């Protein structure tokens, strides 16, 4: 993955304390913008989508089991 982007909320000051993401057809990669050469986390697209949905849900729910993910993931 070579096309990384920061949140549009990143700006001056603390804007450098952010994560960057890169996408492909099947995966999403996340890295620390302060240390881009260090480790990245890579998620299957479906798993990352569920993670983001969980963050925006006001109640805590039990995450789906891996058997609930699409078969091609």
| pLDDT tens digit sequence for 23-46 | 998 999 998 888 888 888 999 999
**Looking at the whole model, is its pTM more than 0.85?**
no
Residue 66 confidence (pLDDT) above 70: no
C-alpha dihedral (65, 66, 72, 73), degrees to nearest 10: 110
- DSSP category for residue 4: -
CB within 8 Å of 59: residues ≥ 6 apart: none
CA–CA dist 24, 16 (Å, integer): 24
70 within a domain of the structure (yes/no): no
What is the structure's pLDDT at 55? Answer: 80
Residue with tokens 């993955």: 1
33 within a domain of the structure (yes/no): yes
42 within a domain of the structure (yes/no): yes
**Dihedral of CA 50/56/58/60: which sign?**
positive
48 within a domain of the structure (yes/no): yes
Query: Structural domain of residue 49, as residue ranges?
Result: 1-8+17-53
Counting the structural domains of the chain, the total is 1
What is the structure's pLDDT at 44? Answer: 94
């Amino acid at each position: 993955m070579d096309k990384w982007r920061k949140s549009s909320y990143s700006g001056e000051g603390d804007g450098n304390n952010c994560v960057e993401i890169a996408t492909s057809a099947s995966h999403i990669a996340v890295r620390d913008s302060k240390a881009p050469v260090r480790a990245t986390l890579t998620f299957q697209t479906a798993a990352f989508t569920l993670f983001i949905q969980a963050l925006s849900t006001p109640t805590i729910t039990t995450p789906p089991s891996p058997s609930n993910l699409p078969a091609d993931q």
